[in-house]
Amino acid sequence: MPNSQFDRRATLQSDGTVQVTGTLTVAEPIEDVEFRFMLVQDNVVVTGTGHGMGGGWSGATAPGQGPLDTGPVLAIGLAVLARKEPGGGLGYETFTWSEQIELER
């Protein structure tokens, strides 16, 4: 399963969405990793999705969610890997993590 984390800074866009990126450490090349994440600031929680690419991943929140401001947020991530190898390698693997990151404009 991949080991991942958020980059320390995320970008708050003018429309209120947030762009996040992160690292993706894997033993073998994996292209089929999907990411879901939550950003929590005070009582506001927003969600987003992303996809792996090479040694990293990127994602964005959907528009129209609660207002976030620059500053610290709790970032909670979920990676889902689809294993498609016949003969024992079929199924899903999941990995979760959380960390404090900074929102910047």
pLDDT, average across residues 37-57: 91
Model confidence at 2: pLDDT above 80: no
Q: What is the pLDDT of residue 71?
A: 97
The pairing of beta strand 71-85 with beta strand 89-104: antiparallel
CA gap 38, 60 in Å, rounded: 10
pLDDT band at 105 (very low <50, low <70, confident <90, very high): very high
CA gap 19, 63 in Å, rounded: 11
Q: What is the pLDDT of residue 91?
A: 85
Reduce the DSSP state of residue 90 to 3 states and report it.
Answer: strand
Which CATH code for domain 3-104? 2.60.40.10
Closest to 54 (Cα-Cα) out of 78, 83, 21: 21
pLDDT, average across residues 36-48: 97
Model confidence, pTM: 0.87
What ranges do the domains of the chain cover? 3-104
Residue 57 contacts residue 24 (beta carbons within 8 Å)? yes
